Every structure is written in C-alpha cells, then in structure tokens.
Structure 1
Amino acid sequence: MPDWSYRTLFRPLLFRMPAERARSLTLGVFGGLGRLPLGSFVIRTFGHMELSPLLESRIGDTRVELPVGLSGELDPRGGAHRALAQIGFGFVEVGPVTREGTGPPRPAERIEGEESLFCPDPWANEGVEGVAGRFKSGKLAENVPYLVRLRAGDGLSGEEAAAEVAAMASKLGGFAAALSVDLLDADRTAEEAAERLSLAIVALRREMEKLPILLHVPLDYPAGKLEALLEAGGLDGWEGVVVGEGRRKGGGLLFGPEDKEASLEKVRLIRSAEIGERRTIVVKGGIHEPQDALDVMREGADLVMLHAGLVYSGPGLPKRINEAVLYERMKELPPEPAPSFWSSWGWMCGLGAGMIAGGLIAWLIAVSSVLLPYDEQFLGLKREAIAAFHPHLLHFMSHDRITLAGTMISIGILYFMLAKHGLRHELHWAKTALLTSGLFGFASFFFYLGYGYFDPLHGAAAAILLPMFVLAMRGRGHRALIRPPNLRNGRVWQRAQWGQLMFVALGSAFAVGGAVISLVGVTDVFVKEDLRYLGIAPEAIERFNERLIPLIAHDRAGFGGALFCDAIALLATSLWGIREGERWIWKMFLFGGTPGFVAALSVHGAIGYTSFAHLLPAYFALALYVAGLILLYPYLMGREAAVRETAGQAL
C-alpha cells in the first residue's frame, strides 16, 4: 500500500470506517502479506527502500540500520511487524508493557481536521506474560530490533517500582535490542525522581548487564522538573532518553502534529544539559512529514518513531524520512566523481540510441515495402502476390510492424534517459529498472522463434546490443538519490500521488498487454477483432501460404515482448523514480510515450482498423498517460524543480 495508492484510493475508504476497524483491516492485510512466501519481496519491490551505511544509528551500543522506528501504540499486537519492517523502519517499539494486563482498550478515534488520534486507554496492554508469550511463540517478527517499553504501576515506591521493572526486564530483555522504562510522573520532586531512577537502573543492570536502557520521558513532563532532574544526575547510568508523545485529554492521550513543538522543547533541554554525545535521544511525538524529523534531529534527536503521522501521511513516510536524513548526511561528504562515459552508462546511451535508430528504420520500412527481402525469401513469394491475394494482409502486417517500431523508439528514449540521468549518477533504482527491463527484452527475442521463423535482422541487432547491455551493467548503482527529496505533505505532493497512480496503472496495463500479445502471438496469432478486420479465416491464409501465419506470429510475439520490456522500464520508473524536482523524469515520460501512442493510433486510422473494442485499451492508456503528465507536472517541473536540480548537481 504505497502512498500513491494509500492517499488516492485506500485512505478515503479506510477513513469512512471507525478508526479501530480501519486499523485492524490495514494491519491484517499488511500482516497477511508479510507472512506469504513472497510477501516481503512484493513489499520491498513496491517500496524499494535502499539501505545505506550513512543511515546507520545506535541505541546505546546497539546498531540499527535505519533511524525511523514504529511506535508501539500503532500495532500493539505485532501482527504486521514483519511486513512493516520492509517499508523503512529500522526498529519497532513494543509496549507500553505493564506487569498485569489491562484488558482490551476502548477504540481509538480519529480527529481528521487536526490529523490527530485520540486513545482513551493509551497504556492498555496484555501484560508482561502475554507479551513474552508472543515473543516465544514467534508471533512477533524475527530479525527486527525491538525497543521494549516497560511501565511501572502507579502508586509504587521507588524500591517497588525498581523491582517491578527489573522483573519485567528479566522476562522480556532477552527478546529486546533495547529497553525503554517509563517511571516519571509530575507529582514527584526532581530529587525524588532522581532517586527513583537511580534505584531502577541499578536493579535493571543486575538483570541486563549490557542491554541498552533508555528513560521514557512523557511529553507533558514539566520542563522545570526535567531540567532539575538532569542537573541532579537523573540520567546517570541510562543510555539515553525516549521523548514520549501525546497530550492529556479526558483521561486519554491525543497524538498529533502539535506534539512536535513540545518534542523540540524537550530535545533542546536534554541536549543543553550536556548529557554526553553517546546518549541516544528518540523522539516519538509530532512526526507527520520528513521536515518534522529533520527539525527534531537538528536539535539533537538521533532517532524518531511514527504513530499518527503514519496514519495520515501514508506508509511511504518512513522511506521519505530515511531519504531526507540520507541527503543531509550525504551533504557532509566530499562529492563523488562521476563515472566516465564508457565505463558503464555510455554503453546504455548507445543501446538506447540504437533502439531509436532501429525503430525509425523499422517504421520507414513498415509504411513502404512492409516486407524485407529475407521475409519474401522465407515466404517464397513477393509482396505483390500477397496484396493480390488479400489487400488487408499487408495492411495488417504493417500495423503490427509500425506499433513495434513505435515501441522500440519508446524503449530507446527510456533507456537513453535512464542511462544519462540514472546510471550516470549510480542511482540504484535506475540500474535495477534497466537490468530488469533488459533481461526481459533480450529474453523476448526467443519469442520470434515461436513459429520457427528466425529474423536475421533482429538476430544481428541482439548480437550487437547484448554486449552493450552487459557493459552498461558494470556500474555500481549504489546511490539512493542525488537531489533534495520532498519534505512536505503539501498539495503539490498530494496531487503527484494521483499522477504516480496513473503511471503505475499505465505501466501495469502495458505489462499485461505485452504478456497477452506475446501469448497470442505464439498460440492463436489472431484475436476475433483481427479476423473481423481481415475478413478471411486463418485456414484460408494457411492454404495460400503455410509460412505466412508464422511470419505474422513472429511480428506479434516480437511486439508483445517489446511492449513488456517497455512496460517494465516505465513501471519501475513510476514506482521508484518519481521524486520532486526530477525534471528529466517528466520529459522522459513525455518524449518516451509519444512515439508509441502516435504509432499505435495513427496506423489504425491509416489502414481502417478502427474497431472501438480493439482500440479501447489504447484509448484507456492514452487517458492515463495524459492525466499522469498533467498531475505530475507541478511536482516534477514546478518552480522549485530547477533549484532542486541545481542542488543535486552540486552534490
């Protein structure tokens, strides 16, 4: 459920449901997908969250690969942790956990105008035994760093609270990457709180000698008391702080974007107390867009967690935050030298140019002689004989070959642009798109052999282009981005989600169409609309010349394979490459799509093959294409695009 589907289709539907039902449905779908054999692969394919050493952070001495975590309040039973870990979360919080379970919580509520969630029972949980049972049974995901939050019961003395959290730690610490301990309340003085924390950390260290242990500071904990607590040495022995979330309201907590200012205040206060560089600060409240995460990190936070922001912004938020953090850290590094033209990306430019030239030549032949000399040699008759037998046959073959030519030109433009602007900058997603598309494209060459016809021109082209493809794939492709990413959930970004949906749908439709055309080409060859246009039965064609249908099949299968290859490049770019200010993406869509649509629509009109049913998929695809270009224009080509492009080039 990426942002382009969540913001456009699923969120409007989910927000029509009660909040608890919507959450259960969403987590159930995510969790079910994550448990499927290829579920994690599918999630990673849609999100394409690339790891980078620059994103590694620490909780104490524990390494986490990504600086974004999932708040425990969002998925308290952990059913979707395995799936959610694939979309950019480096760690997951479990809790709050108390000694005894508190029963099922009352349903949460959405306050949509404020982008907030109200939880009437924010500390509801199944108790330490229930959580331990989930870990032991494997219901919680393996290989996910867990930050387990322990909460002492109300009204306990310092010794009692210390003993209680230590007992819980003994049962859960073995499953955790770190612990977060909730002991503070506003009723105690700073001296009393410091003594309470001292007793707790000593008791916890008896149970967990090396596990990182952080202090959970409620977001509404008074600033004066926190300052006094820090001055009294309240953090001695603790590896850091988790700044909580939520404002008290009617016995519950209200989580939303207004938590950010209080979070910033807490972070400034804690860092100003000189608690030490190795102490970790984790912020939970008010992170609704990437800029929020950058703001709290610039004040001194090391990690953030998501809750209400994920619900309102969408499942792409962790990836967007990771990319924003990555870009900030990349700016501190010296610029990387661009690879030389012929080291990798130049070969792909040459391949793309070759595809464009080949497509133009094929188009010229298709509108003139249609058949090449070796086609006539294979058939054992001249084009005039075919025209004399049935004039629509040559028109039909021209129709297949012109659409193939237009698709070849489109592929060439996509490959050239992906090489110049993607491979040249070692973008991982661009290399993956070209590799996947190219493998399918060269494999589709064998479709030409489906009816026993070997096309020497296609064979020669493949022999020339394949080494160029292999040489182009030598690049490292190790970078996630080169230009500033989007930081705001503004109207332009929201509109772009619709545009991205259009192009993802278009790429998917082309992929299905290419697969179907290839299958038809190597099996039945004709569909009903084809035969209706031709006005002749396949048996009559076969009686006229038994090699004519294999030649037509070769054209159809070749076009289907080329369309599928084109679709993969388009779909991969639509999934992974649409980023604010990437002007070349919009231009690639415009110039790459035009030859295919011009070829497909013009040839049908020229030969009189204007069946509405036959052309309906083309009309639908054209509508998606035009709508996508219009919707994406402000995001990719807007006023800030040139500034972002310049910043990326400097990087």
Structure 2
Amino acid sequence: MLYKKILKPMLFRMDPEKAHHLTIDGLHTASKLPAGQALLRRLYTVPRCPELECTVFGIRFPNPVGLAAGLDKNAKAVRGFSSIGFGFMEVGTVTPKPQTGNELPRLFRLPEDSALINRMGFNNVGADEMAQHLEEAGRYTIPVAVNIGKNKTTPNEHAEDDYRACIRRLYTYADFFVVNISSPNTPDLRSLQHGDDLSRLLAAVQDEMQLQHGRHGGASKPILVKIAPDLREEEITYIVQAIVQSGVSGVIASNTTIAREGLIHHHKGEAGGLSGRPLTERSTRLIHTIYDATGGKLPIIGSGGIFTAKDAYDKICAGASLVEIYTALIYEGPELIRRLNQGLRELLHKDGFRHISEAVGSAHRR
C-alpha cells in the first residue's frame, strides 16, 4: 500500500507530466543502486507461476502482464520496470530524430473516469539516445519491445524511411519491435493503417528486419503492429488481412481512442488519445474481432483499460496471448501487477484450465 497511501497522493498533487518524469527518474535512480533494485524486488516481485509462463512468437515470457508503450518513452528506466514484476515491457514510441512533441499542457488525469487523455506527440530523445540508454541498462531480465514511429515532419509517403531507420539503429537492443501507426497525436499517422500505405509500410519494415537479421545473425526477431480501437468492421477486416499477408508476427489491440462517450470529468473535452477504464470493453471487442478474423493464428497483445484480473482474463479469453497496462498503473500502483497475476491464476483454475495458453481464445469455443 506504499503507493496508494504515500506516493499517489503526492504525485496526484503535481502536474501529470511532472509526476511522470519524477516517477521515471526515480525508478532510474533506484535501479542503478544495488540496494534500490533489491528493495524494488522485495516490495513488488511477482512469485513464479508455471501456469502463467508462456512462449509467444518464439519469446519466453515469465508472466503475461506487460507495460504498454508511452510510460518509459526513452528506455530510461528499463532496470526499474524489470524489477517490479512485469513479464515484459515496451519502450517508446521512439522516432529517428529527437522531437519535443506537442505544446504543454498535453497530459490530463480524469480520476472520476479512471482515465487519462494525452496528446504528447511522440516526444522522445531519438533513436541514438535510446540506444545509449538500452546499452546502459545491460542485460534485461524480461523481454523488451521497442515501439517505433515516424517524426512529425516526415510526410507519410516517406514514413517507411523513419521506421527503417529506427529498426537499423535499435535492432540489437530489442527483443521485438512494435510498429505504431495508430497514435491520434501525430497528424495523418492513422491513415497509414489503410489502403496501399499499410501494405507498402509493412513490406518495407519486414525487408529491413530481414536485412538486420542477416547482418547480425541469431534468431529472427518478431515485429508487431499496434492498431487503433476506432475502426469500422470493414476497416478491421482489411487491416488484419494486410497484416497477415505481410508476415508480421502479431498485433497489439489497441492504442488510445478518440471517442469520449460516457465521460464525466471536466477534462473530457481535451484533444488527444483517451486511455483507461472507458477503453476496457472497446479493446476487448477489437481483440475478439481480430481473433475471429484470423482463426486465432495471429498472436494478439491486449491493451486498454485493464484494472482487474477479470479485465485481463476477458481479453485473454477473447484471444489475447499477452496483456499490457499503463493507465491502471498510474491509478493503482505497482502492487497491481502482483494482483493481476494472482487473479489470473485463480480464474484459470476456476475454469479448469491448467495453463494460460488453454484460455487464449476460449470465449470463441464456448
């Protein structure tokens, strides 16, 4: 209860973005000290649970609960996040060149809605500095994905050059990559999800991954695509077909939403992507649709509005092999990771499953 009783009240009195930076800097500093890292593990380590250990797209995950992209944008606190019980994490979104992002303020809490709205705009230090941070982090104890995007000034017709550049610079540091084409905060980025732009971009990304694999050797590295929740059914069908045809390893469903139905907080009118509790059912429905459209053959990471083990389990039963959290971590603290894993184990046993893989997509078989 350290977070809810002491840290959260302090952080929630601060500007949200300042609190964000303080958290990342604090985890970074604590994890550099042996005593700090030991303390984090003692407070938050998730006990090993064989029923929850899984292998997805060739990578072994100690548990299915990961950290979504956007919190550790610059891979500054990889050691810290690795010490609090996550089964994996995403860093980024990173772009080839550094960029400052959109004007302040650009991050808003909506406590009554258990939500956040952000219009950060891919603010990050760029691929070169992220590579330095990952180098300094050393050997990771959990899989780390690098979420990649394009610079705001890069027109869509040259977007593939930016994604290629990120892969080239960061290939040796990532366990897998995530192509972000669904943030609502970079102008025209979401249009890359449609038409020939998507097929061309994924072909270029796959080509670059193969080039880097040939250059560096070792096992080939997966690449996933992160899509938006604000898609019509026919759009989802087309996007999924293009993703499958490209040979991409999987999909993350989903990014933030631009919808605002049902919100009550006075920040509800702020522009940007909405995350948290209002996204729970929307993202689960998207996972269900993708799993159904692919016959369960395309691995899915479920993200959006996971606050309880039941939220995570619903996404797994809908078709997700792994899940990610972000907004709930802000509201509930690191203790949530242990609760989610414990709750998932109990829900598996309740339904008669011996391993989490048996629950994936089970809603389609009932």
Aligned in 2, Cα 1:171/1:8: closer, same or farther, shift over 3 Å?
same
1:147 alignment partner, one of 145, 148, 151:
145
Structure 2 contact 69–92 (Cα < 8 Å) conserved: yes
In structure 1, what is the equivalent of residue 331 of structure 2? 312
Partner Cα distance (2:192, 2:161) in 1: 20
In structure 2, what is the equivalent of residue 118 of structure 1? 117
Superposed counterparts of 1:367-386, under 5 Å: none
In structure 1, what is the equivalent of residue 61 of structure 2? 64
Aligned in 2, Cα 1:301/1:235: closer, same or farther, shift over 3 Å?
farther
Superposed counterparts of 1:42-61, under 5 Å: 42-61=39-58
Superposed counterparts of 1:273-422, under 5 Å: 273-274=293-294, 276-277=296-297, 279-330=298-349, 332=352
- C-alpha deviations, 1:450-492, integer Å up to 9, x for none? xxxxxxxxxxxxxxxxxxxxxxxxxxxxxxxxxxxxxxxxxxx
Describe the SS at the equivalent of 1:180. strand
- C-alpha deviations, 1:195-227, integer Å up to 9, x for none? 442343233322236101111212324432121
CA deviation after TM superposition for structure 1 residue 241, in Å: 0.3
Structure 1 contact 246–255 (Cα < 8 Å) conserved: yes
CA deviation after TM superposition for structure 1 residue 181, in Å: 1.0
In structure 2, what is the equivalent of residue 73 of structure 1? 70
- C-alpha deviations, 1:256-315, integer Å up to 9, x for none? 2111122112101110112543x3211221112222111111101111111111011221
In structure 1, what is the equivalent of residue 35 of structure 2? 38
Aligned in 2, Cα 1:24/1:202: closer, same or farther, shift over 3 Å?
closer
In structure 1, what is the equivalent of residue 132 of structure 2? 133
Describe the SS at the equivalent of 1:54. coil
Describe the SS at the equivalent of 1:174. coil
Gap regions ≥5 residues in structure 1: 335-651
Bigger-Rg structure (1/2): 1
Structure 2 contact 280–306 (Cα < 8 Å) conserved: yes
RMSD over aligned Cα atoms: 2.6
Letter in 2 for 1:236: S
CA deviation after TM superposition for structure 1 residue 188, in Å: 6.4
**Residue 230 in structure 1 maps to residue 240 in structure 2:** yes
Aligned-pair identity (%)? 26
CA deviation after TM superposition for structure 1 residue 189, in Å: 4.3
Aligned in 2, Cα 1:291/1:87: closer, same or farther, shift over 3 Å?
same
Partner Cα distance (2:243, 2:295) in 1: 9
Partner Cα distance (2:139, 2:71) in 1: 15
**Residue 29 in structure 1 maps to residue 26 in structure 2:** yes
CA deviation after TM superposition for structure 1 residue 322, in Å: 1.3
- C-alpha deviations, 1:225-247, integer Å up to 9, x for none? 12123345645311100123212
In structure 2, what is the equivalent of residue 204 of structure 1? 209
In structure 1, what is the equivalent of residue 167 of structure 2? 169
1:95 alignment partner, one of 92, 102, 106:
92
- C-alpha deviations, 1:594-637, integer Å up to 9, x for none? xxxxxxxxxxxxxxxxxxxxxxxxxxxxxxxxxxxxxxxxxxxx
Aligned in 2, Cα 1:187/1:208: closer, same or farther, shift over 3 Å?
closer
Letter in 2 for 1:283: G
Aligned in 2, Cα 1:43/1:186: closer, same or farther, shift over 3 Å?
same
Tell me the number of residue pairs that the alignment of Structure 1 and Structure 2 aligns: 327
Letter in 2 for 1:307: Y
Letter in 2 for 1:125: N
Partner Cα distance (1:144, 1:165) in 2: 24
In structure 1, what is the equivalent of residue 185 of structure 2? none
In structure 2, what is the equivalent of residue 247 of structure 1? 257
Describe the SS at the equivalent of 2:172. helix
In structure 2, what is the equivalent of residue 572 of structure 1? none
Structure 1 contact 213–239 (Cα < 8 Å) conserved: yes
Describe the SS at the equivalent of 1:53. coil
Aligned in 2, Cα 1:122/1:265: closer, same or farther, shift over 3 Å?
farther
Letter in 2 for 1:167: A
Structure having the higher strand fraction is 2
- C-alpha deviations, 1:61-83, integer Å up to 9, x for none? 11111111112211223343322
In structure 2, what is the equivalent of residue 339 of structure 1? none
In structure 2, what is the equivalent of residue 194 of structure 1? 199
User: Greater relative contact order: 1 or 2 (C-alpha under 8 angstroms, separation 6 or more)?
Assistant: 2
Aligned in 2, Cα 1:232/1:5: closer, same or farther, shift over 3 Å?
closer
- C-alpha deviations, 1:307-328, integer Å up to 9, x for none? 1110112211111111122233
TM-score (norm 1): 0.47
1:7 alignment partner, one of 4, 18, 31:
4
Describe the SS at the equivalent of 2:294. coil
1:262 alignment partner, one of 282, 287, 301:
282
CA deviation after TM superposition for structure 1 residue 140, in Å: 7.0
Letter in 2 for 1:121: M
Letter in 2 for 1:212: P
Partner Cα distance (1:98, 1:31) in 2: 21
Structure having the higher helix fraction is 1
Describe the SS at the equivalent of 1:82. helix
Letter in 2 for 1:288: F
- C-alpha deviations, 1:94-145, integer Å up to 9, x for none? 1111122112663522122212222221422122122122223x05773332
TM-score (norm 2): 0.80
Letter in 2 for 1:255: S
CA deviation after TM superposition for structure 1 residue 163, in Å: 3.8
Letter in 1 for 2:131: A
Partner Cα distance (1:235, 1:275) in 2: 14
Aligned in 2, Cα 1:27/1:164: closer, same or farther, shift over 3 Å?
closer
Describe the SS at the equivalent of 2:117. strand
Structure 1 contact 69–303 (Cα < 8 Å) conserved: yes
Describe the SS at the equivalent of 1:282. strand
Describe the SS at the equivalent of 2:277. coil
Structure 2 contact 148–178 (Cα < 8 Å) conserved: yes
Letter in 1 for 2:210: R
Partner Cα distance (1:142, 1:262) in 2: 33
In structure 1, what is the equivalent of residue 156 of structure 2? 156
CA deviation after TM superposition for structure 1 residue 180, in Å: 0.7
Aligned in 2, Cα 1:26/1:232: closer, same or farther, shift over 3 Å?
closer
- C-alpha deviations, 1:136-164, integer Å up to 9, x for none? 3x05773332111111355332xx43343
Structure 1 contact 58–280 (Cα < 8 Å) conserved: no
Describe the SS at the equivalent of 2:316. helix
Partner Cα distance (1:171, 1:280) in 2: 26
Aligned in 2, Cα 1:187/1:127: closer, same or farther, shift over 3 Å?
closer
Structure 1 contact 223–266 (Cα < 8 Å) conserved: no
Larger displacement relative to structure 2 (171-180 or 73-82): 73-82
Letter in 1 for 2:235: K
Structure 1 contact 81–141 (Cα < 8 Å) conserved: no
Aligned in 2, Cα 1:165/1:80: closer, same or farther, shift over 3 Å?
closer
Letter in 2 for 1:265: R
Structure 2 contact 287–320 (Cα < 8 Å) conserved: yes
CA deviation after TM superposition for structure 1 residue 51, in Å: 1.2
